[in-house]
Amino acid sequence: MTSTGTDSRLKLAVLGSGRGTNLQSIMDACAGGAIPVQVVCVLSDVKDAYILERARHGGIPAEFVDAGPFRTKLEGAGEKRYIERLRHYGAEAVALAGFMRIVKRGLLDAFRGRILNIHPALLPAFPGLESWKQALDYGAKVAGCTVHLVDEGTDTGPIVVQRAVPVLEDDTPETLHARIQEQEHIAYPEALRALASRRVRIEGRRVRMGQKA
Amino acid sequence: MTSTGTDSRLKLAVLGSGRGTNLQSIMDACAGGAIPVQVVCVLSDVKDAYILERARHGGIPAEFVDAGPFRTKLEGAGEKRYIERLRHYGAEAVALAGFMRIVKRGLLDAFRGRILNIHPALLPAFPGLESWKQALDYGAKVAGCTVHLVDEGTDTGPIVVQRAVPVLEDDTPETLHARIQEQEHIAYPEALRALASRRVRIEGRRVRMGQKA
């Protein structure tokens, strides 16, 4: 996958801290031409995160970028380093894919309305960590995933795509999580297709796509 | 529909304050033999509620029962009157169908674990009033309905059935509400079938059905 001057695809950076299964679904959708998106770089705050290896396997520039001394947020000098690398690669939008830090105003301002995150629950239900386990413990019969634009809150931004899955009688946290992840791998490319169409507009909290491209 | 000594169907009372569209779906499921349930009475706190007329049309005893001076809850002498009428009709379980009052401990204790309510959202998202409008304003892309056992909280009891619907680009509160109601009319009979099977058990907050009857 190479960038050219006339390439009209959305230049996307992916940030992650873990295995990068959502990156894989995005890479697959890009490679198959299903979405007009080019992943220009993958950045991780974890030096040996598998997401970096996955990116390199796919021929995508991948870097560990030091996020600084805070464990759960991206702020200060660390934030500046991320913004610098994103600009270096010409990223127009950012997809968080298991990035275990809260993104703060500096990065939000640099990519206003163009940072997506995926959450393994039908928000506003079950924000926060291990939401598939929260859903199971609550006794929900429908679970799912949400791709949303990132704002200053945690799991609060305008929703682009949601996909539901049933919770089954004998589900364990693992079986439910796996069922949700299958839908994540459909939902994230769907949301990126919408963002890449450049027709997304926000009215109040409602994300509208307008006419299809 | 008449009660007989050897009838093994679940004897159900329905309480409502409005049009009773959910009562209609329950009556239809009972009449078609889809669920082993007999509606033994319909009680309303609103003298001219259409739910009473709907019940009488179906040959079901229907009564206005004075709920007392509190507007939003069922307590004290009003609660006692309801319990008395439910016992009079031999009700074994109670389905709230648009009953606009919070049920309190007296009724809960009299029908412990056998009072169902339906809510037009995928709880725990969007409790309270006009939840289809809440979902739309929030920008949710998946909405739905929940049938749950009633406990001391508002919209907090263990969930028996949930059904999801998509939120469409051009939905108004009315179109979304109508789509949710279609699913309510499937969900309530489904939940009653589970309750009537007498195999429902609650582990933590998870409602399990065990093996099918």
Closest-approach residue (CA) in chain B for A158: B139
Helix A173-196 vs helix A21-31: angle between axes, to the nearest 10 degrees? 40
CA distance A98 to A172: 21
Q: What is the mean pLDDT of residues A186-199?
A: 94
Does residue A119 have an active-site annotation?
Answer: yes
* pLDDT value for B96: 98
Which residue out of B119, B131, B133, B142 would a mutagenesis test of the A interface target, given it has the greatest number of A Cβ atoms within 10 Å? B142
CB pair distance less than 8 Å for A139 and B206: yes
Whether residue A5 has pLDDT greater than 70: no
Looking at beta carbons, which residues of chain B come within 8 Å of A122? Answer: 122, 125, 140, 142
User: Is B125 touching A (CB cutoff 8 A)?
Assistant: yes
| Shortest CA gap B61–chain A (Å) | 34
Nearest chain A residue to B204 by CA: give it. Answer: A137
- Searching chain B, which residue's CA lies closest to the CA of residue A144? B142
| β-pairing verdict for B159-166 and B142-149 | antiparallel
The reply to whether B18 touches chain A by the CB within 8 Å rule is no
In this prediction, residues A165-188 reach a mean pLDDT of 97
SS3 B171: coil
Q: Tell me whether residues A139 and B205 touch, CB distance under 8 A.
A: yes
pLDDT of residue A4: 53
Instruction: Delimit the domains of chain A by residue range.
Output: 8-111, 118-213
ipTM, 2 dp? 0.90
Judge whether A158 and A150 are in contact, CB under 8 Å. Answer: no
Looking at CA atoms only, how far is residue A11 from chain B in angstroms?
26
Is the CATH number 3.40.50.720 carried by domain B8-111?
no
- List, in sequence order, every residue forming a beta bridge with A95; answer none if it has no partner: A14, A116
**How far is Cα A9 from Cα B40, in angstroms, rounded to an integer?**
64
B205 φψ region: left (φ > 0), alpha (ψ -120 to 50), beta (else): alpha
Q: Answer yes or no: do B139 and A206 touch at CB < 8 A.
A: yes
Confidence category of residue A213, pLDDT binned at 50, 70, 90: very low
Q: Which pLDDT does position B213 carry in this prediction?
A: 41
Which one-letter amino acid corresponds to residue A92?
E
State which residues of chain B have pLDDT below 50.
1, 3, 212-213
* Chain A residue closest in CA terms to B122: A142
Q: Is B206's Cβ below 8 Å from some Cβ in A?
A: yes
A73-104 as b/e: b if 16+ CB within 10 A? ebbeebbebbbebbeebebbbbbbbbbbbebb
CB atoms A144 and B137 under 8 Å: no
Spatial CA neighbour of A85 closest among A118, A40, A50: A40
CA distance A118 to A179: 15
- Per-residue model confidence (pLDDT) at position B23: 97
Q: Give the residue, A53 or A70, on which the prediction is more confident.
A: A53
Sequential DSSP letters for A33-98 = TSSSEEEEEEEESSTT-HHHHHHHHTT--EEE----S-SSEE-HHHHHHHHHHHHHTT-SEEEESS
Q: What pLDDT is attached to residue B70? A: 87
> A57, A88, A119, A185: which is the annotated catalytic residue?
A119
Q: Domain B118-213: give its CATH superfamily.
A: Formyl transferase, N-terminal domain (3.40.50.170)
pLDDT in tens, A110-135: 999 999 999 999 999 999 999 999 99
User: In sequence order, what are the residues at sequence separation of 6 or more whose Cβ sits closer than 8 angstroms to the Cβ of residue A146?
Assistant: A118, A119, A121, A122, A123, A155, A159, A161, A162, A187, B141
